[in-house]
Amino acid sequence: MILKRQLFILIALILASGMAFSQNSPNIIVFMVDDMGWQDTSVPFADGVTEMNKRYKTPNMERLAAQGTKFTNAYANSVCTPTRVSFLTGMSAARHRVTNWTSPEKDKLTDYADDLFTSPSWNLNGISSGPSIPATVNATPLPQLLKDAGYFTAHVGKAHWGPFGTPASNPRNLGFVVNIAGSSIGHPESYYGEENYGNNPGRPLMLNAVPGLGEYYGSDIFLTEALTLEAIKAVADPIKYKKPFFLYLSHYAVHTPIEGDPRFLKKYLDKGVDSIEAKYASLIEGMDKSLGDVMDMLEEKKIADNTIIMFISDNGGLSLVPPRGGEAYTHNYPLKAGKGSLYEGGIREPMLVKWPGVTKAGSVSGQNVHINDFFPTILEMAGIRNVSTKQTVDGITFIPSLKDPALKDDSRAIVWHYPNRWTSDESNAFCYASAIRQGDWKLIYLMKQKKLELYNLKDDLGEKKDISATNPKKAKELAAKLSEMLKSYKAQMPIYKSSGLPVAWPDGTTTVK
Amino acid sequence: MILKRQLFILIALILASGMAFSQNSPNIIVFMVDDMGWQDTSVPFADGVTEMNKRYKTPNMERLAAQGTKFTNAYANSVCTPTRVSFLTGMSAARHRVTNWTSPEKDKLTDYADDLFTSPSWNLNGISSGPSIPATVNATPLPQLLKDAGYFTAHVGKAHWGPFGTPASNPRNLGFVVNIAGSSIGHPESYYGEENYGNNPGRPLMLNAVPGLGEYYGSDIFLTEALTLEAIKAVADPIKYKKPFFLYLSHYAVHTPIEGDPRFLKKYLDKGVDSIEAKYASLIEGMDKSLGDVMDMLEEKKIADNTIIMFISDNGGLSLVPPRGGEAYTHNYPLKAGKGSLYEGGIREPMLVKWPGVTKAGSVSGQNVHINDFFPTILEMAGIRNVSTKQTVDGITFIPSLKDPALKDDSRAIVWHYPNRWTSDESNAFCYASAIRQGDWKLIYLMKQKKLELYNLKDDLGEKKDISATNPKKAKELAAKLSEMLKSYKAQMPIYKSSGLPVAWPDGTTTVK
């Protein structure tokens, strides 16, 4: 009889606790910033404190860095959709073939016109996850796997995974239970509630009007703040019902239009910062406040100890003038160039990870990691094993670096591939380029110039001196490795307009298609 | 040892079954149609088959009627937002004071100008459920209670609970986990995917552009179909995870603009139906296909036996010409007038309910029921008891009528209150009117005319002959009852412009404010 009674109590407890057994799964927040550069923060990611670190105020990034691990050699791709598709799939951009940013309009090429090359037929319609759609990569998206494992998955902010007229225009088709303000657009028409974020009846509809958020129309609530409020609301339910959540809070900030966040603008102007750059700094600080508000919420709800926060940006800081102020291509100094480029300024990212119980407070990892790595890392964090995916996952887990920040694995090679043209500038690796980094070595293949550049980033972070001529063996070795990896990814090469033939691989060989 | 082993197996079973204990809660679908009249169907709701029953083709409504209970005396309010707020709160419109339709624009009166009266300060900003907002009714919405009880709550289609710039513009703030295509708008700018449902970059943004649905832009998918596809997707998760769901599928059809549904238009034109009315009939049939698709899905997923379906419209059929074709005020024949009116054509609704295991196949209930009643009925269906709501709930459960369709409770009195003006017509109870129905008796109070009209609907469904003069006792009795109920609801009366005094109650007394 006693045993029966114990049995009854035990069952009652199990029923009462509901999903207690799944509560052990940590909540996971990915805080994705748009177009934020490596130096756009008061957290020093280079050696020592730079002038830009002094300019920007990001106290909540400092707070997160103090609680977790700072990655000083973290990378994304050079423009946004390729990064976002890699994040969602774990695939190298060379493999998923969404190598350039996607237009909100279906079947629309976004490549800048070129005399010599045509871009290959890349996946300009982004991703698909249900039935395959022309010019998309068909893959199993990360949030789908998390949802299937019992996570409440919420998308808040910029999506940009595919054009209108395809399922990817709605993150709900990619495994997110809830979608707020995400669609096919890559930047906001307006950051201002007073301007309804670009939705103004009677005035021409702008392609980049931010969807949803109707409750903030006419208010003085800046877009960054509205998304923060919505993100906090979005996770209220899973917190209340004790269900683990995955929150992808993907700010439209700090992408153009560079509109001042009125909460923070004045102090930068008062300090004499260039008028455009002051607006940019206010976008940064508004984004940082969002991070702080989310962290505060986790503490108030007493779930900070079971919530992983991962902070990253989707490509390097924009360095074109205009729309940026100041001198062109200097905004990511000491890094070279900026968004769109395979030089460090275009691909190196501020990255922070806090995993309570795993990461060490204030630790720093110098390990080379890439946005591709988030896919396997997050699955492992969530305790999801033996998943079946449509795609081959190229990323590798960086959990070893979270457990041991001193770990340095120089065998790891990271590849970038951009068989596209971003802008008029051909000189800053903004077009038709591939690159590889292994250890401190980096090789860039400039296809139009038929040139290989070699840098040792430990000695030359700013990629000022091409040392390929003095290190022919290393250059050759990396060119071979890069070629081999690109081939294994089934990478697409640009096509010569004159001959219809593809550009040669970095090692000089050619695969005639 | 054996007991221990049994214990282990039992616990394992409980864990494996997950939320098995909540699976007993039935899924609940409310299929809400916009502006559909009582006769806009091939299901006969009057005695015998009418000409309109012959015109319209709604085979899936027939199918649902054959599986459940048809209510022949079901009511809503005379315009949409009042009905939708009553549905969400269980409150009489006289009490919630959202007595007229709300504009998508905040603080904007929608009343037609009148020489004699001003409308009272009704809640023109709709509903609020969090912090109270000026000119809103602050209440606990039905989906919030369902969500709190473990339901997955999905909103698909027209919301129309409050203007842009207030939380009610997003159904997620009213207890829906997921919102698809719902906002502050009350009708679609366009039903056509080819027209992006009204979202056309470069062309002026229309206030009534349908939000979301970007994946269907440029396609030939009619709005009704897109919402159906989205509704089926929205419940895929709870079905998969065996969680009970509440789906509010609220079609924009058959509201203006009366645009032909190309899947069904031709056959009505071929039959010689007026060109506008043929489009209208195609909207009806497209809506009916949606119902059938949802029913098919339930059968395919093998959950039809645990899913309640409730079908209703939000007010009577539109009877203004234009935009309707044919002769004005005839569209709801044998009922008088139409949308906006307190005559039967404006308030009587086609209503069907199937509750597997409770309703009897093909049964008919003549009980007087009202949209207010959905709130307590649905809570009871979901097994939710002892709820705490901010508001006083005026509706009463109609579950007794589901269990016993022969039941007739003539003690039940239903009140309508419209201290507003809808349109230029003053003759069809489209303005400043209250009404009460009890048993077969109906009294209408026309405030501008200072007149009471009495009808016995059993003898005079078309409200052709006012019998107040020959039945003064009944008229007086109902006027007293109506006055009493309006006062108990704290109803607002229109104000005389000349004196600033309120209009008298139906019984002739006046409360000076």
Q: What is the pLDDT of residues A41-59, one digit of tens each?
A: 999 999 999 999 999 999 9
Chain B, nearest residue to A242 by Cα:
B150
What is the b/e burial string over A157-181, where b = at least 16 CB atoms within 10 angstroms of the residue's CB?
A: bbbbbbbbbbbbbbbbbbbbbbbbb
Q: Nearest CA to CA, how far is A123 from chain B (Å)?
A: 17
Last residue of a domain, one of B353, B369, B403: B403
Nearest to A253 by CA among A196, A194, A190: A190
Contacts of A204 in chain B (CB under 8 A): 201-205
- Same-domain check for residues B434 and B333: no
pLDDT bracket for residue B4 (50, 70, 90): low
Q: For the segment B336-381, what is each residue's pLDDT rounded down to a tens digit?
A: 999 999 999 999 999 999 999 999 999 999 999 999 999 999 999 9
Reduced to 3 states (helix: H, G, I; strand: E, B; else coil), residue B292 is: helix
Question: Given this model, what pLDDT does residue B315 score?
Answer: 98
Domain boundary among A360, A377, A403: A403
d(CA B415, CA B436): 4
* pLDDT classification of B513: cutoffs 50, 70, 90: low
Distance CA A255, CA A316 (A): 11
* Burial grade of B247 (CB within 10 A; 0-12, 13-18, 19 or more): buried
Q: Are residues B290 and B420 in the same domain?
A: no
Residue type, A101: W
Q: What is the mean pLDDT of residues A399-426?
A: 97
Q: What is the CATH number of the domain that holds A133?
A: 3.40.720.10
Number of domains comprising chain A: 2
Q: Which tens digit of pLDDT belongs to each residue from B7-55?
A: 544 444 444 333 333 457 999 999 999 999 999 999 999 999 999 999 9
Give B-chain residues touching A206 at CB under 8 angstroms: 201
Nearest beta carbon to residue B202 from set A183, A205, A237: A205
Residues of A in contact with B221 (CB under 8 A): none
Three-class DSSP category at A205: strand
Is A396:A373 a contact under the CB 8 Å cutoff? yes
Contact B165 A216 (CB under 8 A): yes
Tens of pLDDT, residue by residue over A126-184, are: 999 999 999 999 999 999 999 999 999 999 999 999 999 999 999 999 999 999 999 99
Statement to judge: residues B177 and B118 lie in one domain: yes
Same domain for B104 and B23: yes
Strand order in the sheet with B413-421: B413-421, B431-438, B441-446, B451-456
Return d(Cα B491, Cα B122) in angstroms, integer.
10
Examine the domain organization and report whether B353 and B421 are in the same domain. Answer: no
Per residue in B261-278, pLDDT tens?
A: 999 999 999 999 999 999
Burial code of A485-509, b = ≥16 C-beta within 10 A, e = fewer? Answer: bbeebebbbbbeeeeeebbebbbee
- SS3 percent helix, strand, coil of chain A, rounded to 5, is 30, 15, 50
What is the CATH number for B481?
3.30.1120.10
Q: How far apart are CA B83 and CA B75, in angstroms?
A: 10
The verdict on A379 and A440 lying in the same domain is no
SS3 of residue A169 by DSSP: helix
Cβ B427 vs Cβ B502: under 8 Å:
no
Q: Is A419 within the bounds of a domain? A: yes
Minimal-distance CA residue of chain A relative to B199: A205
**Six-digit token string for B73:** 């005396």
For residue B112, what is the DSSP state? P
Q: Is residue A370 part of a domain?
A: yes
Provide the pairing of β-strand B495-496 with B117-118: antiparallel
More confident residue, B202 or A145: A145
A–B: how many Cβ contacts below 8 A? 117
Report d(CA A416, CA A437) in Å as an integer.
9
Q: Which of A6-15, A256-265, A440-449, B177-186 has the lowest mean pLDDT?
A: A6-15
Q: What does the mean pLDDT of chain B come to?
A: 95
Chain-chain contact of A172 with B202 (C-beta, under 8 angstroms): no
CA nearest to A219, candidates A236, A199, A242, A196: A196
The predicted pLDDT at position B512 comes to: 63
Residue of B nearest to A179 (CA): B178
Residue A481 lies in a domain: yes
The CA distance from B426 to A95, in Å, is 69
**Residue A6 reports pLDDT greater than 70:** no
Q: Are A441 and A460 in contact (CB under 8 A)?
A: no
Nearest to B219 among A165, A173, A184 (CB): A165
Rg (CA), chain A: 23
B312 and B236 in a common domain: yes
**CA-based nearest distance A294→chain B, Å:** 19
| DSSP letter string, A398-426 | -HHHHH-TT---TT-EEEEEEEEE-SS--
With tokens 């177009």, the residue in question is A35
Residue B252 has pLDDT above 80, yes or no: yes
Task: Please calculate the CA angle A108-A314-A214 and round it to the nearest 5 degrees.
Answer: 70
Among B21, B168, B218, whose Cβ lies nearest the Cβ of A164? B218
Residue A12 in domain? yes
Q: Could you tell me if A56 and A91 lie in one domain?
A: yes
Question: For residue B408, is it within any domain?
Answer: no
Q: Percentage of chain A surpassing pLDDT 90? A: 93
Token pair belonging to B285: 């049939």
pLDDT mean over B95-120: 97
The pLDDT value recorded for residue B21 is 39
Contact B356, B307 (CB under 8 A): yes
Q: What's the pLDDT score for residue B202? A: 84
pLDDT at residue B487 in the model:
98
Of the residues A381, A403, A425, the one at which a domain ends: A403
- Residue B413, helix vs strand vs coil: strand
Hey, how many other C-beta atoms are within 10 angstroms of the C-beta on B359?
Answer: 23
Contact flag A165-B216 (C-beta cutoff 8 Å)? yes
Strand, helix or coil for residue A8: helix
For the residues B183-190, what does the mean pLDDT come to? 97
A466 and A337 in one domain? no
Contact A288, A262 (CB under 8 A): no
B232 and B153, same domain (yes or no): yes
Q: Which residue of B has its CA nearest to A1?
A: B3
A510 inside domain:
no
Same domain, A419 and A366: no
Q: Which residue has the higher pLDDT, B486 or A15?
A: B486
Residue B441: what pLDDT?
98
For B440-460, what is the mean pLDDT? 97
Contacts of B150 (CB under 8 A, 6+ apart): A241, B19, B22, B25, B243, B244
B211: nearest CB among A177, A211, A216: A211
Nearest to A71 by CA among A60, A56, A81, A61: A61
Which residue from B21, B218, B241 is facing A15, i.e. has the nearest CB? B21
Cβ neighbours of A210 in B, within 8 Å: none
Residues from chain B that touch A200, judged by Cβ atoms under 8 A, are 205
Q: Are strands B178-180 and B152-157 parallel, antiparallel or unpaired?
A: parallel
Q: Please measure the distance between the N-terminal and C-terminal CA atoms of chain A and give it in whole angstroms.
A: 78
Tell me: pLDDT of B112 over 90. yes
The mean pLDDT value of chain A amounts to 95
Task: Convert the pLDDT of each residue in A46-98 to its tens digit.
Answer: 999 999 999 999 999 999 999 999 999 999 999 999 999 999 999 999 999 99
Inter-chain touch B212–A11, beta carbons under 8 Å: no
Whole domain around residue B200: which residue ranges? 2-403
Q: Is A196 among the domain residues?
A: yes
- What does the block give as tokens for B334? 């044998």
Contact A228, A290 (CB under 8 A): yes
Does some domain include residue A201? yes
A355/A380 same-domain check: yes
Residue pair B77/B89 in contact by the 8 Å Cβ criterion: no
Helical H segments across B254-366, by residue range: 265-270, 275-300, 344-347
- Among A416, A309, A323, A383, which residue's Cα sits nearest to residue A94? A416
Mark B310-320 as b/e (b = at least 16 C-beta within 10 Å): bbbbbbbbbbb
Write the CA distances from B149 to A240, A241, B24, B187, B383, integer angstroms.
Answer: 12, 10, 13, 32, 9
Number of separate helices (H) and strands (E) present in chain B = 14, 17
CA distance linking residue A489 with residue A93, whole number of Å: 9
Angle, CA B136 vertex, CA B133 and CA B142 arms, to 5°: 105
Of A168, A172, A217, the CB nearest to B164: A217
Indicate if the pLDDT at residue B297 is higher than 90: yes
